[in-house]
Structure 1
Amino acid sequence: MSQNAFAQLEKQLGYEFESKALLRLALSHRSVGLPNNERLEFLGDSILNFVVAEQLYLAFPEAKEGQLTRLRANLVKGDTLAEIATTLSLGNFVRLGEGERKSGGHARASILADLVEAIIGAVYQESGLSAAKELVIRLLKDRLNQLSLDDPQKDSKSALQEYLQSRQLPLPDYQVVKVEGEGHAQRFSIQCVVSGLEATPIATDTSRKKAEKKAARMALDLLNELPRGGR
């Protein structure tokens, strides 16, 4: 990556790396071989969760643990990070192996989300927690300012789990029914087994997590249709 490209990305991040090699590492997907950004991603994920947890703790002093957990999950989930990465045009900077590059890895949400975490980890490695914290807050500023405890932040899996726990029922069991396709074109069919439901919802999507959420929503809808005596 050229010096001009480095400068462009650093301007968007609001942080200038002393070590361009560290930034290059943060942008190196595992498909390029070793070294790659997986360790930085691991580090950045932990820092991201901590910083967001602290910001929510300070912003919502009356919030319960479950509310804070849902708000944090919404901010650190892959879809949110991929949106941030897209805003930063990280797909233009990622280093990919030939196979990933040909299959469109520069636009894949999971890869983009991992880049954000790796960059956070790299900033921490170079300049410590304070700089990494500033970066996280800068990247999430608008989303943090828009949060409200009244927002429907709970995803379908969390909602289903709380529904069952409140009735002292076993937690749902998500099982892979079928996996179709190869590599980046895979589709997962997941069934959600719930105590008290005669039917077993099955949902299909391009990732296991997405299919699980769809199946959980279907299970919730079925549970809400049951007569009160059957709940």
Structure 2
Amino acid sequence: MHKLLLNFQDEKLLRQALTHRSYVNENPGEVHNERLEFLGDALLTFISGEYLYRKYPEFAEDEMTRRRSALVQEKQLAKFAIAVGLDSKMRLGRGAIQDRGFQSPNLLSSTFEAVVGAYYLDRDRNIEAIRPIIEDLFNSVPQMTVEVRSNVDSKNLFQEWVQTNFGTILPNYVTQRCGGLDHAPEYLAKVLVDEQLYGEGRGCGKKGAEKRAAEDALSKLKKQGLI
């Protein structure tokens, strides 16, 4: 068993991190992992940023931003989830299992984020306890893979445009569920800059919806001749 799962002190916290909403709907009394997922996403964003800042002192902000996005994108987090054994431990409802939920990049990445958030809480909110485990996973990603993926990330491209034209202002993604099934929810994302709407997108996961919102924003900018 991977050390990320082996060292949990609070088994209830780990069980919650592994529990998808579809399982809760069939098992009243259980608690799903969405709040832990939110926390884990924030931790991974911070740890990856600090990791790249320290590892690549020669890189400018735009390059580090692209690489950070590559390290924490859905497909890469799903690979991390499989590497630590989450593909066989997620607690899913029957519908999600029938829809091959154990192989779903969206469910795998979300569960990985939740487990990271849970581990942080399990270790008395000590980020130094989770950092070396996450950085070991980052180190396992081939550098070329990071470079290729980073070049096609729409959220990074849009953020670079925003920073070029607005300085320190960053895109703000407002994402909420808009439909779908419990084991396959659909999300709508809107991306705003300085409270102005630039693009919208839908996806089966929050990250997918945000990516499509960025793509929509870039498409509109191209039509306006701004990029």
Q: Same fold (TM over 0.5)?
A: yes
Number of equivalences:
205
1:133 corresponds to which residue? 131
**Separation (CA, whole Å) in 2 of partners of 1:186 and 1:121:** 21
Offset, 1:94? 0.5
2:83 corresponds to which residue? 87
Q: Does 1:63 align with 2:63?
A: no
Conservation of the 8 A alpha-carbon contact between 1:27 and 1:119: yes
From 150, 153, 167, the counterpart of 1:153? 150
Offset, 1:82? 0.9
Find the residue that maps to 1:62 and give its secondary structure.
coil
Offset, 1:51? 1.1
**Separation (CA, whole Å) in 2 of partners of 1:60 and 1:20:** 37
**Separation (CA, whole Å) in 2 of partners of 1:95 and 1:221:** 43
Q: 1:131 to 1:32 in 2, by over 3 A?
A: same
From 20, 25, 28, the counterpart of 2:11? 20
1:112 corresponds to which residue? 108
| TM-score, with length taken from structure 2 | 0.66
**Separation (CA, whole Å) in 2 of partners of 1:138 and 1:29:** 26
Find the residue that maps to 2:57 and give its secondary structure.
coil
The code of the aligned residue for 1:62 comes to: E
1:29 corresponds to which residue? 20
**Separation (CA, whole Å) in 2 of partners of 1:79 and 1:12:** 22
1:49 corresponds to which residue? 45
- Greater strand content: 2
The code of the aligned residue for 2:140 comes to: D
Indicate the percent of aligned positions where both proteins have the same amino acid. 32
Offset, 1:61? 1.7
Conservation of the 8 A alpha-carbon contact between 1:94 and 1:106: yes
**Separation (CA, whole Å) in 1 of partners of 2:74 and 2:46:** 16
Offset, 1:187? 9.7
Offset, 1:93? 0.7
Conservation of the 8 A alpha-carbon contact between 2:186 and 2:203: yes
1:174 corresponds to which residue? none
Conservation of the 8 A alpha-carbon contact between 1:26 and 1:122: yes
**Separation (CA, whole Å) in 1 of partners of 2:105 and 2:73:** 11
**Separation (CA, whole Å) in 1 of partners of 2:133 and 2:143:** 18
2:195 corresponds to which residue? none
Offset, 1:37? 1.3
Q: 1:15 to 1:182 in 2, by over 3 A?
A: closer
From 132, 140, 143, the counterpart of 1:142? 140
Find the residue that maps to 1:45 and give its secondary structure.
helix
